[in-house]
Amino acid sequence: MQTIDSKKVPVKTLYNGAKIPVIGLGTFGSDNYDAGTIAQAVKMAIKMGYRHIDCASVYGNEKEIGVVLQEVIAEGIVTRDELWITSKVWNDKHQQVVESCKQTLSDLQLNYLDLYLVHWPFPNFHAPKCDVTARQPNSVPYIHKDYMNTWAQMESLVDSGLVKNIGSSNMTISKMELLLRDCKIKPVVNEMEIHPNFQQPELFSFLIRNGIQVIGYSPIGSPKRPERDKTPEDTIDIEDPEIVKIAARLHVHPAVVCLKWAVQRGQITIPFSVKEDKLYNNLKGVTEAPLTDEEMAALSKIDKQCRLIKGQVFLWKDAKGWEDLWDLDGKIAL
């Protein structure tokens, strides 16, 4: 197996001084891979030089990942403090954050998490078989006082030492403004969909101005996302002519260009793969051969504002469409 010295992987320093590797391994296998396969990818990635693993309870594989984390530590491949392990509280546990975190720690066989996120700002349930027009009877819109109750529980995890850092995910500027106004501990990161065809420049700039690091998921455009998340107007980043041209110059897969762009832009990226060659090329790509200023400028112009993970499965009964989840009309409930 080819490896990369983990010390060559750049890190970002969060506002509180914590250092997080700029590339991690995502562990959402969609509907394509079982938990055991993903866990073995985690083990392979850590052996290869990855030190940042992005997990979530809803992915259904934390127990299997916990086994391989203990294996790589026991084998002397890595120490616990060399790893950055993230997890997330799911929508149905917003009132049981501490219990959910403790379950994740038990499943991952860890004493603490480096980062714990509120996965989505909607306290309702996920219906995996939903299509883009479905509505769930128990879905409700974002309500700020309820979210702040969830956030207070997140803050308690830091106070108790179960979690070193807390953050948000899938937020908007409107929601973040309220959170920053009312929180005691500011989120260190916001995890959000970002790829060259969906750059979110306004939200990105807002977060950076406020000292919040951006973690971008679906960094190559999530070609293997669930069928429920696909719509006819979706674009495919790795087929974009500008990305393909740059990839040809560098003799790399177009996906690597997307990752280089993300890191050079200043965000953290968490691509997913279970294939050894892709894991290696992704990691190598963010440590070598940066894009030119001209290429970065060209990629800044291919934003098609194409959101792929629309979140439509969380829509409440009276919502007009998935756009309501993202406050596109500027209105949110208090």
> CA distances (Å), 224 to each of 30, 52, 91, 229, in order?
7, 22, 23, 10
Cα distance between residue 188 and residue 166, in whole Å: 6
Q: Are 330 and 174 in contact (CB under 8 A)?
A: yes
Calculate the alpha carbon distances from 147 to 154, 171, 261 in Å: 10, 11, 33
Question: 59 catalytic, yes or no?
Answer: yes
Catalytic hit among 59, 116, 142, 280: 59
Q: CB 227: neighbour CB atoms within 10 A?
A: 9
Q: What angle do CA 238, 244, 250 make, to 5 degrees?
A: 115
Cβ–Cβ contacts within 10 Å for residue 321, how many? 12
CB 158 within 8 A of CB 151: no
Helix-helix angle 62-74:97-108, to 10 degrees = 50
Residues acting as catalytic residues: 59
